[in-house]
Amino acid sequence: MARRLDASIIGLGSAALNRIDTRPAAELARAAVRSAAADAGLPVSAIDGLVICRTSAATDAVLGLDLQRALGLSDLKLNRIALCEGASALASIQTAALAVSTGLADTVACVFADAPLKLGASMSSAFGRLKTSVGLEGLRYTAGLFGGAAVYALSAQRYLALHGLGEDVLADVAVTTRAWAALNPSASFRKPLTRTDYFAGRYIAEPFRLFDCAAPVNGAIAVLVTRGDRAKDGVQPAVPILASAEGHPGTPDRRDFDRVLTHGGALAAKSMFATTGLAPADIDMCQFYDAFSISPLLALEAYGFHPPGEAHRAYADGAAGPGGNGMPINTGGGHLSGFYLQGMTPVMEAILQARGAAGERQCAKAGTILITNDGGRFDYHAGMIVGSAERWG
């Protein structure tokens, strides 16, 4: 069993999170770290550790040394890049939590920045590009499977076929997530979405339509992590990290295995629930990585909220949406309707909910929150359970 961490999130900052700010990612990262320090009521110089997470597709790489110098920071005790694709944000916060728990550093900033959108360029050009085409994995491009949508569609298509489900289960995820976005002033798409609107959306990669795919933005999000005792007298209510775990399945791609449906959440769940003594029923809300609508369904099943093929029940009749009678999911509008800032999108919403600072969309019960990050084609996974100071302080 993993030992408990002694770490809390005390600062949250952001920059841009829109489709019009075309500053380079490095500058957005600098702005977000300064914003997180200000949020925590600390001078930037209080930061003694940096962990950068970045997209593997970044053309504008934010390097540790560059960011350290841009922020004017000296004598850092930690300066690291966490790189496991979409799971990098939680991996970076886990690295920070480990460092502060053991006293290797006191106040660590974790930042993700990306600027995929250029003025006048199409949205699909942001992510539909060819990564290095090497080895057997590179055959995806030979098969015409560019962009995340095409490979995640393979998971969705098989999931629906295996469980005899229709595309309406994906529609429910998109419609529910949009209902939350309508309550979030920072979300990209806030106009209510009906099932009819959903099915009128054009196909991107079947079964995914337009509304099954994330909304890319330019932006950066940073968080500040410190040891539990240091967090208590902060300006903001501390958000304790109750558990953190990674799970990278490495499932073989051959008969008797199902790589496209094997989700690392099962591994992370086992570790985090054992460490904390918590169970799915103790989780008040989930902030899932939802670059595509299939991801929350697979995460719900991997974490044991529902048996295989039944995760759609979480969304039935708006249960996971505003005012619903189930567990709230992706209360900020997620990646689908909020903004795609990879693993930091669910982190930001979890912090706001745990602080009781989520405005119109604040949920009554936000004491224990599960956050997930997925990377690659479910190759990388990281999970984290955070709490409110009120519940766990």
Partner 1 sequence: MTVPPIPDPDPASAHFFASLDAGKLSLLRCLTCATPHLAALTCDACDGDRFRTERASGRGVIHSLTRVHMAHHPAFAGQLPVIGGIVELAEGPRLFAPLIGDGPFAIGDEVRCEIRVHDGRGIAAFCAGRKLGEPV
Catalytic residues: 289, 340
By beta-carbon proximity to partner 1, the closer residue of 229 and 256 is 256
Under rule CB under 8 A, residue 133 binds partner 1? yes
- Selected from 1, 3, 74, 142, the binder of partner 1 by CB under 8 A is 142
Overall size of the chain counted in residues: 393
Cα–Cα distance between 130 and 281 in angstroms, integer?
A: 41
Q: Which stretch binds partner 1 (CB under 8 A): 14-22, 95-103, 131-139, 356-364?
A: 131-139
Under rule CB under 8 A, residue 147 binds partner 1? yes
Q: For helices 25-40 and 64-71, give the axis angle rounded to 10 degrees.
A: 50
Under rule CB under 8 A, residue 134 binds partner 1? yes
By beta-carbon proximity to partner 1, the closer residue of 142 and 196 is 142
Instruction: Please state the closest distance from residue 191 (CB atom) to partner 1, in A.
Output: 23
**Residues 367, 388: contact at Cβ < 8 Å?**
yes
- Selected from 138, 166, 192, 308, the binder of partner 1 by CB under 8 A is 138
**Residues 344, 351: contact at Cβ < 8 Å?**
no
Long-range contacts of 228-233 (CB under 8 A, 24+ apart): 228/6, 228/7, 228/8, 229/6, 230/10, 230/106, 230/107, 231/8, 231/10, 232/393
Footprint (CB under 8 A) of partner 1, residues 161-180: 161
**Residues 296, 290: contact at Cβ < 8 Å?**
yes
| Interface pattern 260-289 for partner 1 (x via CB under 8 A) | x-----------------------------
By beta-carbon proximity to partner 1, the closer residue of 201 and 324 is 201
Q: Which stretch binds partner 1 (CB under 8 A): 64-72, 112-120, 132-140, 307-315?
A: 132-140
By beta-carbon proximity to partner 1, the closer residue of 257 and 359 is 257
| Interface pattern 232-261 for partner 1 (x via CB under 8 A) | ------------------x-xxxxx--xx-
Strand ranges of the sheet holding 107-114, from the earlier edge strand across to the other edge: 78-82, 49-53, 107-114, 218-227, 7-18, 239-246, 380-387, 368-375, 285-287
By beta-carbon proximity to partner 1, the closer residue of 208 and 340 is 208
Residue 142, class by beta-carbon neighbours within 10 Å (0-12 exposed, 13-18 middle, 19+ buried)? exposed
- Of the CA atoms within 13 Å of residue 367, those in its CB half-sphere come to 9
Task: Report the interface residues with partner 1, using CB under 8 A.
Answer: 124, 128-130, 133-147, 149-150, 153-155, 157-158, 161, 202-208, 250, 252-256, 259-260
